[in-house]
Amino acid sequence: MSRIKEFNLPDLGEGLTEGEILAWLVKVGDTIELNQPIVEVETAKAAVEIPAKWAGQVQAIFHPEGTTVEVGTPIIAIDTDPGAGPVEQSTTGAPATDLPTPSAASLAAVEVAPAEGAVEPGLIGGPAPGGRTAVLVGYGPRTTAAKRRPRKATGPAGNTAVPTAPVQPTPARIVAAPVTPAPAVNGNGRAGGPVLAKPPVRKLAKDLGVDLASLTGSGPSGSITREDVQRAAAAPAAAEPLTVTTSASSAASFGADREQRIPVKGVRRLTAENMSRSAFTAPHVTEFLTVDVSRAMKALDRLRERREWRDVRVSPLLLVAKAVLLAVRRHPMVNSSWAGDEIVVKEYVNLGIAAATERGLIVPNIKDAGRLTLRELADAMTDLVQTAKAGKTSPADMSGGTLTITNVGVFGVDTGTPILPPDESAILAFGAVREQPWVHKGKVKPRLVTTLGLSFDHRIIDGELGSKFLRDVGDFLADPEAALLAWT
């Protein structure tokens, strides 16, 4: 059996046909362990760190960073038995069968991206070449500058060199230089990395708007305590560090024509495809409802004061999610999808929460959210948001959604007309909660008011059903205690 193993770009699911190599986490000559992350690849939904399928020593890297390669294409070669001595060469100077030889597809992928819509047999709806090998070990926000997909070269300078003959003692097909990113440094001068803090402390810091990385812990092993967070929160606002996130589009320079061309790929490409397909496939209808949520906001305040909820993130979105889940029980058809000659009504609710991230719009979902208690739902939403902000949402967490909420209110927007995610029949937009004049008990008083916008698939949901569902969500937000007593 050959000791040199070629590792192919695996099928990470969701119909992936290609991926862009963002960063190599190893270099030629490195000794690696089983399941050690070796490369970061950008798919249509996330930046994925792919682990090694074998332990051994890196012999060759076939594609440099910034290259887009097809699923099933060899990207790296690993010597699975480096202790057995050097790899034998044939008498002609060509490598023996133990040495890796990139396939034609591997070499072609360096120059030419696959045609739009082209699908190789076996890549979608079946096993990827060599079998499904991806074991996702983590995701992270893109830390490299935006790179264009390699184009066909017009001269020697544009070519990616792929020698046809090896150079001893290591193969000459190595095209990627080792990348050793400098460690980030946090606000107190320590090298970046996980901050030592217990979950309740992290929750307190998040609620108070304190950056844990900027603190020096006074607890055991330098861990950050509640007192550290409280001291930082009590410090003058002028002393807080200012963090500015610069988008790729604003940081990039413009050409002589004062125009900038940004390749459409990754999350942006997937979003565009899904939204276009949904907008021109499902007949959308959007209804609006303005609600006095003053009682709901007071209920949240009382909930925060309870001892068992003091370390839990409680936000208006939590009550909106609970309202949607209760309304689905009363109107199950809203939680369904169109399947051509039939409508699929789902008993489970995988509740999607739209999240705007640096990589673009993603919609992770909470699996079987209808079975969760309010406390479990709060914890699940906190984990979902924190994971999305960290850029670590997995493809599995963004698959299988049945109903979605988009919180446009965080941007100061009153409401919107959201487009349905694929294979869903309804999406609710939750607008900003504002103090407005409102007729309450026969008098005009300042009340906390929000506007809801419900878009639904008119093939499945008619006006009456959509109106009743939206009315129930509004009734819960207007008086949560009364709705719970009446419906449960």
The question of whether 63 is a catalytic residue gets the answer no
CA dihedral of 231, 236, 241, 243, whole degrees rounded to 10: 110
Range list of H helices, 133-247: 199-208, 226-234
Radius of gyration of the chain from its Cα atoms, rounded to whole angstroms: 27
What would the two tokens of residue 118 be? 């082209």
Give the number of other CB atoms < 10 A from CB of residue 427.
27
- Range list of β-strands (E), 358-464: 360-362, 365-366, 403-406, 426-430, 434-440, 443-457
78 φ, ψ (degrees, to nearest 5): -130, 130
Give the number of other CB atoms < 10 A from CB of residue 423.
17
Which residue type, as a one-letter code, is found at position 103? S
160 half-sphere exposure, CB direction, 13 A CA radius: 24
Residue 300, by phi and psi: left (phi above 0), alpha (psi -120 to 50) or beta? alpha
Map tokens 């099933």 to a residue: 72
What's the length of the chain? 488
The single residue of 63, 284, 331, 458 carrying the catalytic annotation is 458
User: By the 8 A CB rule, do 171 and 99 touch?
Assistant: yes
What would the two tokens of residue 94 be? 């060509």
Q: Side by side, which strands form the sheet with 31-32? A: 4-8, 74-79, 56-61, 31-32
User: By the 8 A CB rule, do 146 and 252 touch?
Assistant: yes
On the 0-12 / 13-18 / 19+ scale of CB atoms within 10 A, 387 is middle
Instruction: Using alpha carbons, list the distances in angstroms from residue 247 to 252, 358, 479.
Output: 9, 8, 41
Maximal CA-CA distance, the chain: 98
Smallest Cα–Cα separation from 273: which of 401, 392, 143, 360? Answer: 360
CA dihedral of 31, 36, 42, 47, whole degrees rounded to 10: -140
| Residues taking part in catalysis | 458
